[in-house]
Amino acid sequence: MAYRHMPDMKTVLTAERLFTSTGILSAPILVIEDGRIVSVGSRTASEIPTGAREVAFADNILAPGFVDIHIHGGAGHDVMNADADALAAVERSLAARGVTSYFPTTVTAPLDATYIALERLAAAIETADMRLTRNGGLRAQPLGIHLEGPFISHAKRGVHPPQYLLEPSLEIFDRMWQAARGSVSVMTVAPELPNAENLIAEAARRGVCVSVGHSDATAEATLAGISAGARHATHTFNAMRALDHREPGIAGVVLSDDRLTAELICDGVHVRPELVKLWYRAKGPDHAVLVTDAISATGMGDGRYQLGGFEVEVRGDRCEYEGKLAGSVLALDQAVRNVMEFASIGLADAVRLATCNPARVAGVSGRKGALTEGADADIVVLSPRGDVVKTIVRGQGI
């Protein structure tokens, strides 16, 4: 089915509840026009505009569309190698799970291959609005790129190929920036590496959210990275120096320092539920971020799948390369339901971790991550238990 935008026609959505960035609105009326939210109110205080098309979602919930700031692929395709058709398949699979915006994430690879991937992803970002109106089904939109590597620690590299890891370099970062045509939004850096502070400062000056991760940093080195401009943490607990009561290391700083937001892969495989609860209690509803770290195998079955330039073995919920975890097959709507169970929180708080918080981290607040006047009409309709009923991207899909 093709989703066709109808300019100048107001559409009104009603439901049982609506999740705002600060609370819950009962009996909402949400008005959409030209792909944006025109107004948000309640049925007790607002009227449906004359001539508007009304779409009722009964006892369901209107929430902002999910935003995934760390994702490597899905539907059988890796974002570093995906052509236009393959990327479309990834984007359709994301939209089916409530994701309206995403940040395709690289994995460490030869520089020439990385530059080519960045150029391809930049083109996809630049043409996202045009591609949304084409036939072929509703699609999530890429908003920016997350560089995961090559400026990471050998000791905590995970499955990133060691031969392609590099010390932080302003020259190489600038070549990546140019290849991506300024579309780098997030970059993971190990703050203990030589010249890391200079790289962090320059990337932050260009508006990049620098994320500490894949790191064996001490607490002191992590704090130096924060002082240089880092403000986020990549998949908390995974590929990090372990927490110790005398040397808290990077994990201790991530949990305790409110200057950092902290992402987590909430699949029950990467982090045990007890530690998910600790993470949420430490970071709270404003600083915790859900991500998937999903790879090409997401939405597929067991087998061998691509991650950057190498193959990963997938069995059930585990993705492994040479015995190490290698991304996930997690979908963001499942992460929301998981964190409700693991951290003992309600759906409204869980949704914040997949919407307004990642949008703020990636610098797209105001446009994405909240159902407010003037924002893009990116909406996921949820059942009371958090199942995806419908996804709406820029007003399309209704």
Across-strand partners of 184? 145
How far CA 66 is from CA of 247, 272, 292, 354, in Å, comes to: 36, 23, 11, 5
Tell me, what amino acid is at 4? R
Comparing CA positions, the residue from 292, 260, 336 lying closest to residue 103 is 292
Outline where 34-189 has alpha helix (H): 84-96, 111-126, 128-132, 170-179
68 is catalytic: no
Tokens found for residue 195: 């010249």
> What is the Cα–Cα distance from 222 to 287, expressed in whole angstroms?
17
List the end-to-end C-alpha distance of the chain, in Å, as a whole number: 12
Comparing CA positions, the residue from 369, 152, 148, 361 lying closest to residue 259 is 361
- The three-class DSSP label of residue 169 is coil
In the set 78, 293, 376, 378, the catalytic residue is 293
Peptide bond into 150 cis (omega under 30): yes
> What is the Cα–Cα distance from 222 to 218, expressed in whole angstroms?
6
Outline where the chain has alpha helix (H): 84-96, 111-126, 128-132, 170-179, 196-205, 219-228, 249-256, 273-287, 332-343, 347-352, 356-361
Other Cβ atoms less than 10 A from the Cβ of 296: the count is 29
Tokens found for residue 219: 């607490």
**Local structure of residue 242 (DSSP, 8 states):** P
379 touches 20 (CB < 8 A): no
Look-up: residue for tokens 């927490």? 243
> What is the Cα–Cα distance from 109 to 79, expressed in whole angstroms?
13
> What is the Cα–Cα distance from 317 to 267, expressed in whole angstroms?
8
Look-up: residue for tokens 């107004």? 39
Half-sphere exposure of 147 (CA within 13 A, CB side): 34
Across-strand partners of 108? none
Tokens found for residue 288: 């915790």
Give me the active site residues, please.
293
